[in-house]
Structure 1
Amino acid sequence: MIKAAILVAIIIAGLIFGPEVSGSKGYVLVAMGDYTIETSVSKAIIIGVLFYLLLLGIEWLLHKTLGISRQSYNWLRGRNVRKARKNTYAGMLALAEGDYKNAERLTANSATHSDTPLLNYLAAAEAAQEQGDNAKRDTYLKQAQENSDNSFAIGLTQAKFHLRQGQYEEAHAALSLLHNKQPKHQQVLKLLSETYQQLDEWQKLLDLLPSLRKAGLLAHDDADQLELTTYAGIFKQLAKQEGSHGLQVYWNKMSRKLKAEPSLIAAIGEQLITLDDHDAAKIILLNGIKKSAPNSILAVINQLKLPDYQDLINSLESGRKKFPASAALESAYAQCQLKAGNIEQAIKAYQAAIELTPNADDYYQLGLLLEQQGVISEAQQCFKRGLALSQA
């Protein structure tokens, strides 16, 4: 617009001043080295205007030519982007459908022109992982790192891959870094919980449990059960590392609420029995059946080997009077009587247990005792009924 205005102004000026200068043509001399150009003022003005018009024409031509080139470039670039989007979408669908070979090819090849190269490389890495090609998987993860500054997402993906392959140490290392960056990240917390369980890192899992509860990643009952499982794991580790004394010291420092949990009483009882400290196990187990007689504790009581079973018999007799009738309680009582050498009482207790809830093991033990007593026909009936129950 400005150029056109200048041109119009020059023409108008020529129309106004042309007649005046026509009578006095003037003189223009241009010297360039050994060359000189002589002309009148009017001719110089005309030549200048024509030269300016030539420049405008050249500019217009260049603008049109470059404009066409730019349009061609933008069209080609847009075509590549559209194709990349289409292939990325197809690759993601292939990944969801389990077609990992095509998923890898489509997402990796379209990553260069994709709007989301990070997602392309992560999807390609997952497809390679599913095909068992760890080398390609790691290459795609490296390319993802080079094409994005989102190291957190890449690290989380890598940790998931390690977990799938059972590489728990590597997963632990990656997740620890992520946890330091974002302690409240729910996916990191969940994966850390799984990793700690696989590595038997029970104390770390116990320390993580409040965060899992606060994040709402576990239902209340599930969180309570995980806590009990964690303590049972700690008992097992302490038994190996510190023996019976260390295990009992840890137990005594626990809260009353936890020490009243039947599963924990049974767990520490089993570890003490494994360490051949049956007396210490007996004390904890008998304290555990003062208010109830859970099957888990009774099952561990049956494993005790003592020089004198009278305290155990007395506790179980008390339980038979206080608690509802229980086949497990009768069976435990029968075993204690048998170990103490009281055959008649053991037979009666086994019969009471079978009457409450028929059990193949109880039938077998009763059959052996009856056979020892010479009651062969009844013993054979017990063996038959026990065998039928075991095959049912």
Structure 2
Amino acid sequence: MRKLLLYIFLLLLFFGGLLFGHAAIGEKGRIFIAMGDWRIQMTVVSAVISLLIGFVVLVILWWAIKRIIRMISGSRNWFGVLSRRKQSKAFFNAISACTIGDYESAQKYVNKTFPGDFDGANYMLAADIDRRVNNGRNVENLLSIAETFPESEASAKIQQAAWFIQQHQFKQAEIVLESIDAKAQQQAVVVRLWLSVLAALGKWTLVKEKLSDHKKALGDDYVQWAQQAVQGEFAEIASKQGANALKEKWESLPRAAKKDIANQIVYVQLLIDQGLSKDAEPILVELAKKSRHPAFHGLFKQLKHPAPIHAMRLIESWIKADPDNAALYSVLAHMAYNSGDYVLAEKAVRKALELASNPEDGRLLARLLEKQNAFEKANNVYKGLLTS
């Protein structure tokens, strides 16, 4: 835009000279300049010409001074457009080298782009390459330079926070994330970084707040993070205060939280982990009756106490309604095995394998055969698992 205005001004000056120049040339007026004993006398035309020549000389001097300053400061942009084209080509070559995994060449190319007019993108690319070539020796320095460009400030900080997390420097990552502007804070990638940092620092209350504020941004990852948040909070209670405190915490949750399947799975899992399989069974059965979610299958398989009657009856009722569901036979087989009913376990696992091949069920059958001292048959099952 500025160049366009300059061109318009020069055109107006040119046409003005054509239209009114003859009047100035015919003018006999003179200009006198006196400075002490120094006297200058010239016509109006010669004064105008002198000013124009002086202006052109000043422009040339200014251009030369800028090039000299850039040369002294280490800039590669010594020859204007020609140098910028070389830097742009180097930047393109660096990206191309990265796409084929030639990071050594990419680093050589990207080094030719400094400082360059890339709004900091070349420094971020250099940081990514440095991670792969030099194990991140210069990552922090490169990203700190990228942050000085308004166009790349947020992206550089996001990349720096991710680097700190990778290095398990969670406090530094938290400081960087706090400095990111409000608009960028709404991005899903930033929310996930926040969740990783807060989870690593054990700040589960803040994790839950983040989840509540950014449920839409997280999409399908919400359930996984919600489950991890509850698991972290509940695990902390269980480890410090025991199973009774865990049960009290569950009872104190609002109804909406109790309906969240992620919370349900974590609660039952922690009860089982605390050795309270018998206490977990009726809770799991009631939850599974309300929602036949496949995520409950893994919990049923972990029940380990004599005669889990209620759980078995529920799974058997599901099998009657869906007799070709291999997953349900697998659940029944594992529950029976854990409770010591090896006859039912073998019958159920063979039916599961008949409907669908599953390595977990194959290993269970092999263990059952070993208990019967049928070691050759068990070895054949193991061999079949290895070949498949």
> CA contact under 8 A between 2:131 and 2:139: conserved in structure 1?
yes
Deviation of 1:175 after TM superposition, in Å, equals: 0.8
How far, CA to CA, are the matches of 2:301 and 2:135 in structure 1? 51
1:391 to 2:365 alignment = no
Aligned residues: 339
> CA contact under 8 A between 2:195 and 2:210: conserved in structure 1?
yes
What do residues 195-251 of structure 1 show as CA deviations (whole Å, max 9, x unaligned)? 45666655434322344344xx444x4444543454444444443344323433343
2:278 corresponding residue in structure 1: 279
How far, CA to CA, are the matches of 1:133 and 1:353 in structure 2? 48
Q: Which amino acid aligns with 2:134?
A: G
Instruction: Name the SS for the 2:194 alignment partner.
Output: helix
Q: Which amino acid aligns with 1:73?
A: L
Describe the shift of the 1:2–1:190 C-alpha distance in structure 2 as closer, same or farther (beyond 3 A).
farther
2:14 corresponding residue in structure 1: none
> TM-score by structure 2 length?
0.64
2:365 corresponding residue in structure 1: 363
> CA contact under 8 A between 1:107 and 1:124: conserved in structure 2?
no
1:132 to 2:134 alignment = yes
> CA contact under 8 A between 1:94 and 1:102: conserved in structure 2?
no
How far, CA to CA, are the matches of 1:292 and 1:334 in structure 2? 21
1:184 to 2:186 alignment = yes
Deviation of 1:134 after TM superposition, in Å, equals: 5.5
Select which of 92, 104, 113 maps to 1:107. Answer: 113
Percent of aligned pairs with the same amino acid: 19
How far, CA to CA, are the matches of 1:137 and 1:384 in structure 2? 53
> TM-score by structure 1 length?
0.64
After superposition, residues 1-392 of structure 1 pair within 5 angstroms as: 6-7=29-30, 53=41, 63=51, 66-73=54-61, 76=64, 77=66, 80-97=79-96, 98=98, 99-108=105-114, 110-111=115-116, 114=117, 118-119=120-121, 122=124, 125=127, 128-132=130-134, 136-141=138-143, 143=145, 152=154, 154-163=156-165, 167-178=169-180, 183-185=185-187, 188-193=190-195, 195-196=197-198, 202-214=204-216, 217-219=217-219, 221-254=220-253, 259=258, 264-291=263-290, 296-306=295-305, 309-321=308-320, 324=323, 326-334=325-333, 336-337=335-336, 344-357=343-356, 359-368=361-370, 371=372, 381=377, 384-385=380-381, 387-389=383-385, 391-392=387-388
RMSD across aligned positions (CA):
4.7
Runs of at least 5 residues in structure 2 that lack an aligned partner in the other structure: 1-23, 33-37, 68-77, 99-104
Deviation of 1:67 after TM superposition, in Å, equals: 4.0
Instruction: Name the SS for the 2:179 alignment partner.
Output: helix
Describe the shift of the 1:101–1:387 C-alpha distance in structure 2 as closer, same or farther (beyond 3 A).
closer
Q: Which amino acid aligns with 2:41?
A: L
How far, CA to CA, are the matches of 2:189 and 2:298 in structure 1? 38
Q: Which amino acid aligns with 2:387?
A: Q
Describe the shift of the 1:152–1:357 C-alpha distance in structure 2 as closer, same or farther (beyond 3 A).
closer
Q: Which amino acid aligns with 1:107?
A: T
Deviation of 1:270 after TM superposition, in Å, equals: 2.6
Instruction: Name the SS for the 2:298 alignment partner.
Output: helix
